Structures are given as structure tokens and as C-alpha cells.
């Protein structure tokens, strides 16, 4: 059994960058990725802002070398996973017990939607190869094959906590000596189904979102992918480059309150954070930064804020929602924000919560509003809370 699980590599793609370096520059510039819809044919163009990756499918196909009919989900997933694996630079990778634990919620729905536009107009049209691998697990298989991983692969789909749970699960596989290396994270892309569904729930903001602000009106949907390369003690000792940090705490809880809403008192959020702290052996005062789930919806932010006050009051650590940059990337959000959390430890930075102006009534929580450098950042908590009350908190610690 490995005594610790370390982060050896990171990779990310989102609306603010196509790799890790570009993300750090976007944070420094305090430049968000939201804008008008350009890649979907929808009635909500010019009406609802989204956070699109700034590469079209043809460009992604050229970068990855995958076939043109490959879903955008798999294309983004492969780019981020390959960056993470290259970053880890693990000697003798092929001889190790390796796994790929990946999350998504839409699978190949982007391709399916395009197929049915033609098919419904004329049943003789449409290419069936564009929908045969619609389900979520096929995206994991495509990327695992490209990475050369055959020992273990699985897909997790628990809404917005999906890729945080993938990291959680990957850490446990290593901790229990089942694998030596796990590439864990997830990807999700914008689809009309998702946009229409969230709009029906009346939780989308027609302006750029402002998480944790009293006058917040909803979230902006985003897309992207993020992965961590997790390694055991044995593998960590063979690396020729410094490790980023270790994953010291994790917990999943479920308040079972509602299909899509968080419990008003933040029960699930509270249990997830408390459980992660207990697992890590840390006290609330040890946490140097919280990467908030912070979607910008009235319900989510008040529930998360209530739970944070319950645990950390009266000395709440610096906190912010990076969804104010990337939008809400759904199943990918936990992993993308885990990458940000790891980078916060490495570079000693705290990210701003863009567009915050007014604290929430009764909570008075004030997120960081500017990009801060030279900070004491040794322990970071990252929150990811999904539909159905599926709540996960991860804690990363410097080494």
C-alpha cells in the first residue's frame, strides 16, 4: 500500500487556454473566456454567453490526429491527458501498472445532435458512425487507447462532481496498491441539450456570471478538460523532476435533498469538506485557499457559503471561484479546478473571483478580487458539488 499519492503531471484545456502555461497567463491578465456562442447552431446565440474552447473541431482533429468523426469530448480529453502525461515524464511508464479514470456527462452528444438534424429531415441522410459511440464510456476508451493504457480504465459520471470523483477514485486505486500510475480527470463539451436543459432550470445568466455576489443570477456554461497524473511512492522516487504536491484529503457525501438543488443549509457541502479535512489530518485553519465550486447560481453559492462559514468561521481562508474565468465546465470542472489548485501550490498564487462586488446577505464572505502572487499556499481545498446532492471535496498539500 502506498503511503502517499503524489501529483506528478497536469494538463488542461478550457476557454482561457489550450495548455497550462496559457491558463496561468490568462489568470495573470484577469481575462475571462466567456463570449458569444460560435460553435453551436442555436437560438441562444447573442443571448446567452458561454465559455468555448477557442479551437474548432477541425483544429482539434489536426492536433490530435484522431478521425474527423471523433466527438469533441474525446478530442479535448486527449489533448489535456497527453499534456499531463508528458509533463509527468515517468521513466519506464510502459512497464508500470497504469490506469485511466475519466469523467464526462455528454459523451458523443455533440455528434448525435448534428446527426439528427439531417436524419429527421431525410431518413436516408446522416452518418450512423457519428452516433454509435454516443455513450460516455466510449470517450474514455478512445483516449486510453491513444495513451497506451490497457491495465485499467473506467468512466465516472456523477454530474458536476464527476472528475473530482475520478481523482478521488484514482488516488484510492494507488493507495490500495492496485495501480502505480493513474491519469485521472475528465472532459465535457457544450451541447444544445445541455444549454437547453440548464436554461429550462432557469439558472443561466444572460451576462457574465458573478459567483458569490449577492446579485448573482446564474451560471455560464463552459467546456474543457483537465487531468492529473497521480503516482505512488515507488514511482515518485524514480522521477527526474520535482513533484507538484500530494493529494492529502478527499471525501464524497450526498445530502439527497433534491434532483438539481443543494440543501439550503449546505449539508452535503459541509459533510464533503469535513470529511476531506478528517482524511487529511488537517484543521480548518491549515487551509490556505479554497477553490470554490461557486457556480454563480443563487442556490449553490448560498449553500456552499453557509457550509464554509460553519466550518471556517471566524477566520475563513482566501477563496475564489475560477468559474468566473472558465464558466461551468460540468463534469470536467472538478479536474480543471484540481489542476488550478495544484498550480496554486506550485506557483504560490491565489486566483481572483472576477466581477464580485457585493457580499451575500447574512454570510459576508468576500472572495479574492485580484490575482495574488507570493502567497503562502501549502494546503488547498477544491470543491465540486453535483446534481442529486453528490458533493466532493479534495485537498492538495505541498511536500
Q: Three-state SS across 259-296? A: CCCCCCCCHHHHHHHHHHHHHHCCCHHHCCEEECCCCC
160 a catalytic residue: yes
User: Distance between CA atoms of 351 and 31, rounded to whole angstroms?
Assistant: 11
258 a catalytic residue: no
Q: Choose the catalytic residue: 209, 245, 316, 328.
A: 328
Q: Choose the catalytic residue: 160, 245, 316, 391.
A: 160
Measuring CA to CA, how many Å separate 312 from each of 37, 219, 257, 317?
A: 39, 25, 23, 8
User: Distance between CA atoms of 103 and 161, rounded to whole angstroms?
Assistant: 9
Q: Choose the catalytic residue: 136, 245, 293, 316.
A: 293
* Preceding peptide of 92 cis, ω within 30°: no
Measuring CA to CA, how many Å separate 342 from each of 33, 62, 155, 178?
A: 21, 29, 23, 24
Q: Beta strand pairing status for 152-156 and 98-103?
A: parallel
Q: How many CB atoms lie within 10 A of CB 346?
A: 18
What is the distance in angstroms between the CA of the first residue and the CA of the last residue of the chain?
19
23 a catalytic residue: no
Catalytic residues: 160, 293, 328
Amino acid at each position: 500500500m502506498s503511503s502517499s499519492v503524489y501529483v506528478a503531471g497536469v494538463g488542461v484545456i478550457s476557454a482561457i487556454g489550450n495548455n497550462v502555461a496559457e491558463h496561468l497567463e490568462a489568470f495573470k491578465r484577469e481575462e475571462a473566456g466567456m463570449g458569444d456562442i460560435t460553435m453551436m447552431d442555436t437560438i441562444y446565440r447573442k443571448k446567452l454567453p458561454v465559455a468555448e474552447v477557442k479551437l474548432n473541431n477541425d483544429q482539434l482533429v489536426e492536433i490530435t490526429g484522431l478521425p474527423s468523426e471523433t466527438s469533441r469530448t474525446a478530442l479535448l480529453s486527449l489533448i489535456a491527458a497527453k499534456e499531463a502525461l508528458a509533463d509527468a515524464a515517468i521513466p519506464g511508464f510502459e512497464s508500470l501498472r497504469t490506469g485511466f479514470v475519466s469523467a464526462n456527462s455528454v459523451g458523443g452528444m455533440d455528434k448525435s445532435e448534428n446527426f439528427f438534424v439531417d436524419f429527421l429531415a431525410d431518413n436516408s441522410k446522416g452518418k450512423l458512425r457519428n452516433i454509435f459511440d454516443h455513450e460516455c464510456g466510449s470517450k474514455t476508451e478512445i483516449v486510453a487507447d491513444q495513451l497506451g493504457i490497457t491495465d485499467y480504465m473506467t468512466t465516472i459520471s456523477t454530474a458536476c462532481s464527476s472528475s473530482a470523483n475520478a481523482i478521488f477514485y484514482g488516488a484510492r486505486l494507488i493507495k490500495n496498491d492496485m495501480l502505480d500510475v493513474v491519469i485521472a480527470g475528465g472532459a465535457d463539451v457544450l451541447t444544445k441539450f445541455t444549454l437547453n436543459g440548464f436554461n429550462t432550470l432557469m439558472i443561466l445568466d444572460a451576462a457574465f456570471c458573478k459567483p458569490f455576489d449577492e446579485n448573482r443570477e446564474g451560471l455560464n456554461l463552459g467546456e474543457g478538460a483537465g487531468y492529473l497524473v497521480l503516482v505512488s511512492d515507488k514511482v515518485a522516487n524514480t522521477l527526474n523532476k520535482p513533484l507538484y504536491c500530494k493529494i492529502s484529503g478527499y471525501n464524497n457525501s450526498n445530502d439527497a435533498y433534491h434532483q438539481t438543488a443543494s440543501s439550503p443549509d449546505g449539508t452535503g457541502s459541509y459533510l464533503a469538506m469535513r470529511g476531506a479535512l478528517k482524511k487529511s489530518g488537517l484543521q480548518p485553519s491549515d487551509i490556505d485557499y479554497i477553490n470554490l465550486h461557486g457556480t454563480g447560481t443563487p442556490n449553490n453559492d448560498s449553500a456552499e457559503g453557509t457550509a464554509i462559514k460553519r466550518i471556517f468561521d471566524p477566520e475563513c481562508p482566501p477563496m475564489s471561484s475560477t468559474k468566473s474565468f472558465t464558466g461551468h465546465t460540468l463534469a470536467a470542472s472538478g479536474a480543471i479546478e484540481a489542476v488550478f489548485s495544484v498550480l496554486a501550490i506550485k506557483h504560490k498564487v491565489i486566483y481572483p473571483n472576477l466581477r464580485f462586488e457585493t457580499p451575500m446577505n447574512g454570510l459576508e464572505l468576500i472572495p479574492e478580487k485580484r490575482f495574488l502572487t507570493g502567497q503562502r499556499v501549502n494546503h488547498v481545498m477544491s470543491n465540486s458539488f453535483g446534481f442529486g446532492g453528490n458533493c466532493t471535496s479534495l485537498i492538495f498539500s505541498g511536500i
